[in-house]
Chain A
Amino acid sequence: MSAMLLPTRKDEAWRYADLDALADLRPLPVVESIVVPAGGSFSRAIVQDSGGVRQIGLVVGKGANARMDTLNLGGDYGRIELDVTLHEGSHFELRGVILGSGEQVLEIVTAVTHAEPNATSNQTVRTVVGGKATGSYLGKVAVARGAQKTDAAQSVKAMLLDRTATANAKPELEIYADDVKCAHGATVGELDQAAMFYLASRGLPPAEAKQLLLQAFVAGVFEGAEDEAALTAAALSKLGAMV
């Protein structure tokens, strides 16, 4: 039933969304449901290159391992939404990159629930936005009562290429257990002008220097992904077009 209703800005998880674009996208596709059985292993790469909303519900069974690599770079409005539930001793890994230009609105939104003890999660998201684009990461980590020894980490860094671009980084914690580790860091910055001049002084033209620094910024995010080469190539190609 809720699929019929469109979210509003009052809904925290849709606060930065492009609601006009969203209206054109309805009906939203069905939420994809993935269950990783106990002791299992799962990995998936998503390249969002044409716009739209993609919602995935992921349940990671006892002692299982799940990894998602998401590259969000296409369309006027592109949203990747992950609702993850972790059972005892399981692990979830998110590696995300958002590359936005023009007037694109691109989002990665996660809700990771540590439902049982000893589960770990690690989320790394790098965003580069230029022009009037908006790149958002909203990441909620919920630790259920009794989910002791939870270890959850979120590292979010964004780079603005122009003062007209917007980056939102919102790690969020909701903890109902008392023996947990939940680390989060978020930064929004610009290209290092000292580094730009250093590279230029060695002969690199500005566009090449920029591209090199941006490559370094997103480098390593997709390390170890099954589609590492394809993901990296797609990211570099967009970065090349952005500088």
Chain B
Amino acid sequence: MLQINNLHAMVGGTEILKGLTLSLKAGEIHAIMGPNGAGKSTLSYVLGGRPGYEVTDGEVTFNGADLLAMAPHERAAAGLFLGFQYPVEIPGVSNVQFLREALNAQRKARGQEPLSGGEFLKLARAQADAMGMDMEMLKRPVNVGFSGGEKKRNEMVQMGIIDPVLAILDETDSGLDIDALRVVGDGINRIMRKPDKAVLLITHYQRLLDYVKPDFVHVLDGGRITRTGGAELALELEREGYKELAA
């Protein structure tokens, strides 16, 4: 589904990704772990197409298409969802209004009929309920006044509504208490644990992986994957630390 070959990327004149290669197949959940500054967030932004993140070498294909040639909104329409480490607050723009416009823009790009207001609200309500989020919150401006946990929950509600085929979740577990962690973990499993979907979980800690069992765990260090293993690698990392493993 996602094939990353020898990816090099720069941010602000500094090379952060230095030849990263990674392959995700449908039905798989991959976790990427690594120390601060390893390039984890850079990888997620490069895959999402954030301006300012410049790819200098390598290629990324998403279901056979050249991902790097697509604009961010085209990547979304192609089925890629980026879960933000720091979801952005947008005063004055309501969650439901923006999500409906976004979803219908995606549907239009795929040649599907737009959802009516009623159909959309039904979908939004079901996804909000599933994440334990009050529908009233979903009508408020995007992330404004939300706590860290509510913002992450909102990311999952958005993911449920958009129903992507590939989710790249950048530290979706950071800032969550134990209860919220379980809710978010359940959300990822419910929405994305399917034979035709894939997930790339970017995380610092093993704890999210207690709820979302990865098929593969990769260590990202110095801008490239330095080690790959199964779920047990995460436990080993938690025990030994990145330094030990790198040595």
Contact = CB atoms under 8 A, between A and B. Distances in A.
Nearest to A220: B92
B176 to A, nearest CB: 20
Given A195-B88, A198-B87, A220-B92, A204 B105 contact: yes
A194 B97 CA distance: 19
A224 interface: no
B235 to A, nearest CB: 32
Nearest to B109: A203
Nearest to B52: A193
Nearest to B104: A203
B98 A202 contact: yes
Contacts of A206: 71, 73
B48 interface: yes
A202 B93 contact: no
B92 A199 contact: no
Prevailing SS type, chain A contact patch: helix
A14 interface: no
A205 B90 contact: no
A204 B73 contact: yes
B105 A219 contact: no
A203 B162 contact: yes
Given A193-B51, A197-B50, A197-B51, A202 B99 contact: yes
Interface stretch (A52-60, A63-71, A128-136, A210-218): A210-218
B54 to A, nearest CB: 15
A193 B45 CA distance: 14
A200 B101 CA distance: 11
A212 B101 contact: yes
A189 to B, nearest CB: 13
B105 A203 contact: yes
A201 interface: yes
Interface residues of A, number: 23
Nearest to A216: B92
Contacts of A205: 71, 73, 105
B88 A204 contact: no
B181 to A, nearest CB: 23
B137 interface: no
Interface in A207-238: 208-209, 212-213, 215-217, 219-220
A54 B158 CA distance: 48
Contacts of B158: 202
Interface stretch (B35-43, B76-84, B239-247): B76-84
A75 B76 CA distance: 40
A192 B97 CA distance: 19
Given A193-B51, A194-B88, A208-B101, A200 B93 contact: no
Interface of B: 48-51, 71-73, 75-77, 81-82, 84, 87-88, 90-93, 97-99, 101-103, 105-106, 109, 141-142, 158, 162
7 contacts: A201-B81, A202-B158, A202-B162, A206-B71, A212-B101, A213-B93, A216-B90
